[in-house]
Structure 1
Amino acid sequence: MSLPHLHGFPVSSLSGEQIASLEEAARLARIDAVTMVAAANSGHPGGAFSSMEMFLSVYGVANLTPENCGSSDRDYVVVSHGHTSAGVYAALAAWGFFDAMEAVSHFRSCGSVFQGHVERDIPGVDWGTGNLGQGLSAGVGFALAQRARGCKGRTYVLMGDGGQTKGQLAEARRMAVKEGLKSLVALVDWNGIQISGNLDAVMPCNLKALWEADGWEVVECDGHSFQALYGALRGAGSGGRPTVLLCRTVMGKNGGAMEGTHEYHGKSPKKDVYEQVIEGLRGDPGILKRALELRSAPFRFTGRKVEPLVPSLDLGNAFTYDGAKMDNRGAFGRALADVGRLNCGKEGRTPLLVFDCDLAPSVMTEEFRKACPSGFVQCGIQEHSTATASGAAAAAGVVSVWADFGVFGIDEVYNQQRLNDINHAGNKTVLTHVGLDVGEDGKTHQCIDYVGLLRNNFGWKLVVPADPNQTDRATRWMLGTPGCICLAMGRSKVEAVVDAHGDPVFAGGYRFEYGRAVRVRQGTMGTIFALGAMTQKALAAAGLLAERGIDVSVWSVSCPLEVDRAALGEACASGYVLTVEDHHAGSGMGAVMALEMVRGGFLASASAPVRFEAMGVTRYGDSGPAAEVYRAMGLSPEGIAEAFVRMRG
């Protein structure tokens, strides 16, 4: 069967022959989709059937092919209702992305790329979606990246109707209109049924009014008519606004007993229902037997390996701070603006987008905004959508930076950041105001769990710089390094960390290296590891200990998720190891090091017993000046020194 070439809308309307070809493709794709679900004995056939014409139409008109799906300058397609994956795979197979039988036989099979929800391992899938309501935010990110790259392509986002009441969707709708993203086209599978029953019974909403209220061009069309879909897609964006197609569909369309019911929203049909569906589609029920025979065979199709962007940037020269106190966030903002000026609008450089949620003066991105206004995206107080949009933008070929307070940038949007990790997005998140350093703002704003939250993921890198010098160098490193990276810092001004001679440790020939701890004081009677800006307090504690005749080494740790094994080995040899951090004591750097000591064999190989203690936040903090809050938590220099003395017995 040959499908018509529809990329770029070559005709004003479809011919009878083209429609017949597409309808035949839909018939065969439904057979493939329901057989996938039956072979796996799990899946979501109802939505796959109701969205089928939408999938085939979008993948048909989009400038997205097996040949260009790995490049950045093209159209993007996001399937937000990712549970309809059987329909997505069937449609992609129809357009030649892979052999349909590979998906049919290995759908939801352990180790197969054809997972239960769509993932980027499949060519043609631009964003891995699990939780409903996040796809439009990803579409916003893709459209922003296209604009920044000077690409004229479109972004298509397909969604179910059940998730339309989610708050993140409203955030994304507003972002799209505010940014004037007329290249963004959304399609809603409006079948009126979700997993618990009728849409209006579960959570009623005026779907059309929601989109109109946020300023979208709203078009209603028959979601099972290729002619109607083609015409609506062709005209999308002509009004200068983002467009949504509310596609009237039937749950389980052409699925016999599956049609018009919520029963098969997430349920595999039994043998008799499956055979009835296949016969109604004029198919051969024997395809299921062949699929089951192939299911135990080795996978022939292994998908693609998604790699984050390798930026092309002039990172400039680091600034040095050796005088008055300065906050780390200020050093970050100055370095960011410097890199922006060196690269914004320059031929051959990767575009740089900085996202803000109404906090630019506090997170220090104002200087970048003034230097590179076209690269600054003001999102308002809409953290959930911003987290996803910034990740998708990074996946679409820009260096994407989102700066926010710790409790907003990771605590509030943990799931979004988890999906950024799963998608290998490569976004950069900058957390300011972390730890007890927020002081007066109190326990709701003291982000004391960011290390533990990022530790739960498998791809995120985390950098907690000690002073403005290290912050500047870590910022430039982050901007030029692939992958999801978080830079975290407090609010207060700090002194530059200096060595025993008074020279800045993180200046001169220092070069930031991920995972490497830096010894800032040499001692022989024990070791203190300090996270980030706690280094200054640890150094002060070392001074107090020296007055008592206890000579300790102090190591500054900026990468709590990556243990410096050489430094830990030296510390264990000293016999006493104390970790100090402005973080939950049970889930941060100390916990990571303790596990590494056991798992890495440090305790077994030590020539003498090793005493270990992890100091950190042990309760929600008080509201007051930061120094007093630290003291109340036992994390003042005096408290650290006393803890070390107690540990030594």
Structure 2
Amino acid sequence: MNYSTLIFDETKINELQTKIKTEIITMTTIAKSGHPGSSISSMNIFLAAFLVSMKEQNIITPEDALLIKNNPFTDRFIISHGHTSPAWYSMLGNLGLLQDYDYLTTLRVIGSKYTGHLEQNTPFVDWSTGSLGQGLSAATAKAFYLKNNDSNRKVFAFMGDGEQAKGQIGEARRFINKFNLTNLISIIDYNGIQINGEIEDIMPSNIADDWKSAGFKVLDVNATDWLDLVKAITYAYHDNNSNYLLLVKTVSGEGVSFMENNNKYVSGVLSNIESQKAFSEIGATMELSDLDKQRIEKKQIATARSHWPTWREFYHKQEWEKETEFYNVNDIVPRRQGYGDSIKSMLKENDAKLFIVDCDLAPAFTISDLSSSNNFIQSGIQEHHAVTFSGSLSREDLTVFISSFGRFILAEPYNQHLLNALNKTNLKTFFSHVGFAGEDGPTHHFTSFISLIRSIPDSHLLIPADANQVKHIVRYVANNKGNYFISLGRVPTKILSDTQGNPLFGEKYIFQEGTTDVLKEGKDGTIVTYGSLTNRAIEAADKMKDLNFDIGVVSVSSPYKINDDFWEKTSSKKVVIYEEHDVETGLGNILSLELQKRGYTYSLMGVKGIYPSGFYDDILDMSGLSVNNLVENIKMVITNNV
């Protein structure tokens, strides 16, 4: 197969279109699930863009195309409306780019690599999609990366028209315009139909005007005119001075009379009888009964495989040096400052590999002086876009940090973090304003972050006790793969000391995820805490000493990974878990069952309900989390009066 001649051979293209359309109907009918109408309307767009890309990259054969797998500086494809996967699978199969045709019989089978929505195990797919509205943001990261590396390669962002109602697409458009990402070609399948009916009836919008107002040139194209479609894509490909949207007019279910513009088939499949009628109309033949039998046989094989490797990944383990500068004992330092200072020292070491994404809160994280740096990416108050962009960028062999307030960067874009997890990103999310946010009040208090992050697959949560430990943790997460969430709090904390009066988390300290840190030794009982409350826990232990009780304090910086040393460091078996978190879903919830099994006497101190704005200590007093409240709880535990 020769891609360079195929693209201009309309006879062969017509044959290929019929074959793809036939296979879309076949695989969705056999699966009894899928989106045949949408897949048919997108197939010409996919085929034209892919062949233009191959032509412009001088890729002639399937063998040549598959060689680009390990090269990051090639054209990229993001299919935001991932439910059109049948069209992509069939296109790849008929262009000689798949090792099998199992997509016909294993579409949407559990364990099959031919999933209902496109995932990164599929060749030429650079982002797993399905949650509409996020694909354009993921594509901006690929375009940013290529442009930052002076590559002339392009990124294609394919979208449906229904998802244009999503606010995140507006965020991404503004970002594209701001950073002049003219290497990104946005293409919308404009068929005017979505699941519940016509777009104009469901949520009217003027798509062209929305994009024009964001600085885009809009090209109106008809998908049924093959050469015109190829010409428009090629034109946008070669213009490096403008941002383009191709608004491609298509017909849902085009070529099959009863499917055309019928919202029933946007997400509804054909019966076997309807399929045969459709095949007759498009001039194709396909026997479904044999394929039905094959699906049953191949389902057993596919089910045995629960995960397929990604198409390509460019991550390499970073090797950042150990931190060497630390704050002095008893200094009052916001943990956010530890974050900012660490970033600045890291940029001096290797500014080519580190990028910092901000959401209009640079002063809060002491990084305002980085705003003129090429490594600083100001995304504005657009957290949904920022999280997807940052996650996508983190898969490009870079260290990527993002920072904002807890509710803004965690609760609002929760689904974006879930999609990052699916895409196995390596994002490091730093957040403040967890627990009580003081005078900022209940819209900023965030007392459920432990449980929320815990529900994100494969996530790591780290909660440093002071700004020195922050410095160690910043380097640690930069050197390790995966999605890390680091809580920095709002309240400044005192730099902790060891028994010799040196910084507890100084130069000799080595952070190990899962290790419990002893802040104060004690044999009569132990306060288990983390983050902003560590200083108050130590204060309570000191008060207990005046009452002739020897109380220890330990900090759990890794609540999802608690090593066995925790039990050694709480061997008195009398414990108060003291946290600025919802009492039913925080650290106490994680530890309670094991505490019971091991015969501990314990008390859980945490947040119950919603609290107003006010000074931090006043809110602690109102919520029953003051130092005096803690002292009383310790007394009850060590006297077995719980």
Q: Same fold (TM over 0.5)?
A: yes
Q: Which residue pairs with 2:358 in the alignment?
A: 356
- Correspondent of 1:321 among 327, 331, 338: 327
- TM normalised by structure 1 equals 0.92
**Contact 1:54/1:224, CA 8 A, preserved across alignment:** no
Mapped contact 1:308–1:424 kept (Cα < 8 A): no
- Written as runs of structure 1 = structure 2, the 5 A alignment for 1:221-236 is 221-236=221-236
Cα distance change, pair 395–594 in 1 and its aligned pair in 2 (3 A): same
**In terms of mean alpha carbon deviation, does 417-426 or 515-524 score higher?**
515-524
Helix, strand or coil for the counterpart of 2:101?
helix
Deviation string, structure 1 residues 598-646 (Cα, Å, up to 9, x no partner): xxxx644x4xx32232222212222111122122222222222212222
Aligned partners of 1:618, 1:67: CA distance in 2, in Å?
57
Change in CA separation of 1:95 and 1:512 when aligned onto 2, cut-off 3 Å: farther
Cα offset for 1:569? Answer: 5.4
State the Cα deviation string for residues 235-268 of structure 1 (Å, max 9, x = none).
1151612211000000011234222211101011
Between the aligned partners of 1:338 and 1:622, the Cα distance in structure 2 is: 38
1:186 aligned partner: 186
Distance (whole Å) between structure 1 residues aligned to residue 71 and residue 564 of structure 2:
39
1:23 aligns with 2:30: no
Amino acid paired to 2:394: A
The alignment's TM-score, normalised by the length of structure 2, stands at 0.92
Taking the aligned partners of 1:264 and 1:622, their CA distance within structure 2 comes to 50
Equivalent position of 1:583 in the other structure: 581
> Separation in 2 of the partners of 1:625 and 1:228?
65
List per-residue Cα deviations over 1:104-138 (Å, max 9, x = no partner): 11111012122211111223221111221111111
How big is the shift at 1:100?
5.1
Q: Is the 1:107–1:115 Cα contact (8 Å) retained in structure 2?
A: yes
- Tell me the equivalent position of 2:309: 304
CA separation of 1:545/1:296 partners in 2, compared to 1, >3 Å: closer, same or farther?
Answer: farther
Deviation at 1:562, TM superposition (A): 1.4
Secondary structure class of the residue paired with 1:101:
coil
What is the identity, as a one-letter code, of the residue corresponding to 2:617? A
Contact persistence 2:313–2:396 (CA under 8 A): no
Shift of 1:307: 5.9
* Partner secondary structure for residue 157 of structure 1: strand
Q: Residues 89-488 of structure 1: matches in 2 within 5 Å? A: 89-99=89-99, 101-236=101-236, 238=239, 240-287=241-288, 289-297=290-298, 298-299=301-302, 303-305=308-310, 309-315=315-321, 317-323=323-329, 324-345=331-352, 351-370=353-372, 373-436=373-436, 438-488=437-487
SS of the residue corresponding to residue 528 of structure 2 reads strand
Q: Give deviations 1:440-463, integer Å, cap 9, x for gaps.
A: 000101122221111001211111
1:56 paired to 2:47:
yes
Structure 2: runs of 5 or more not aligned: 58-64
Alpha-carbon distance between aligned partners in 1 of 2:462 and 2:504, rounded to the nearest angstrom:
17
Q: Please state how far the C-alpha of 1:575 moved relative to its aligned partner.
A: 2.1
Q: Distance in 2 between matches of 1:364 and 1:326?
A: 12
In 1, are the aligned partners of 2:259 and 2:265 still within 8 Å (CA)? Answer: yes
Give 1:95 deviation, angstroms. 3.0
Per-residue deviation at 1:432?
1.7
- 5+ residue gaps, structure 1, are 346-350
Secondary structure in 2 matching 1:66: helix
In the TM superposition, 1:559-578 aligns within 5 A as 559-568=558-567, 570-571=569-570, 573-578=571-576
TM superposition shift of 1:566: 2.7
When residues 32 and 486 of structure 1 are mapped into structure 2, their CA distance, relative to the original with a 3 A threshold, is same
Contact 1:525 1:574 in 2 (8 A): yes
Inter-CA distance 288–447: structure 2 relative to 1 (3 Å threshold): farther
> For residue 619 of structure 2, what is the aligned residue in structure 1?
629
Deviation digits for residues 542-589 of structure 1 (CA, Å, limit 9, x no counterpart):
112222232232211111121223313553x42222212222222122
Say if 1:296 and 1:551 are closer, same or farther in 2 by CA, change over 3 A. farther
CA contact (8 A) 1:313 1:343 kept: no
Shift of residue 198 of structure 1? 1.0
Q: Deviations over 1:424-477 (max 9, x none)?
A: 1111111122221x2000010112222111100121111111101100110111
The range that moved more, 421-430 or 116-125, is: 116-125
Moved more, 280-289 or 637-646: 280-289
Distance change (3 Å), C-alpha of 1:227 and 1:613: farther
- Report the alpha carbon displacement of residue 25 of structure 1 after superposing the two structures with TM: 2.0
Q: Pick one of 590, 593, 606 that aligns with 1:592.
A: 590
Q: Is the 1:123–1:303 contact (alpha carbons within 8 Å) kept by the matching residues of 2?
A: no
Cα contact 1:531–1:560 (8 A) shared by 2: no
Partner SS state of residue 268, structure 1? coil
The CA deviation at 1:225 is 3.0
Asked if 1 retains the 8 angstrom alpha-carbon contact of 2:82 and 2:130, the reply is yes
Describe the superposition over 1:320-360 as per-residue Cα deviations: whole angstroms up to 9, x where unpaired: 11242111101100101111122114xxxxx3221112111
Q: By how many angstroms is 1:280 displaced?
A: 2.8
The change in CA–CA distance for 1:489 and 1:431 in structure 2 (over 3 A counts) is same
Identity of counterpart residues, as a percentage? 28
**Which region of structure 1 is more displaced relative to structure 2, 59-68 or 500-509?**
59-68
Partners of 1:630 and 1:424 in 2: how far apart? 38
Which of these residues, 15, 28, 42, is aligned with residue 37 of structure 1?
28
Q: Deviations over 1:39-87 (max 9, x none)?
A: 1111111100000011112232336943323442222111111111211
Q: Compute the displacement of 1:290 (Å).
A: 2.2
Q: How far apart are the structure 2 equivalents of 1:54 and 1:397?
A: 30
Residues 591-610 of structure 1: pairs in structure 2 closer than 5 A: 591-595=589-593, 597=594, 603-604=596-597, 606=598, 609-610=599-600
Contact 1:318 1:472 in 2 (8 A): no
Change (3 A) 1:395 1:23: farther
Which residue of structure 1 aligns with residue 541 of structure 2? Answer: 542
AA at the equivalent of 1:556? S
Whole-Å separation in 1 of the counterparts to 2:575 and 2:113: 45
CA distance in 1, matches of 2:94, 2:538: 65
1:227 counterpart SS class: helix
Cα pair 1:515 1:562 within 8 Å, conserved: yes
Summarize the Cα distance change of 1:95–1:545 in structure 2 as closer, same or farther, 3 Å threshold: farther
- Offset of residue 486 of structure 1: 1.2
Amino acid at match of 1:409: I
1:619 and 2:609 correspond = yes
Aligned partner of residue 236 in structure 1, secondary structure: helix
Amino acid at match of 1:344: D
Amino acid aligned to 2:434: V
Aligned pair count reads 623
Measured on the aligned residues, the alpha-carbon RMSD in Å equals: 2.1
Q: Helix, strand or coil: the match of 1:377?
A: strand
SS at match of 2:371: helix
Shift of the 211–21 alpha-carbon distance from structure 1 to 2, 3 Å rule, reads: same
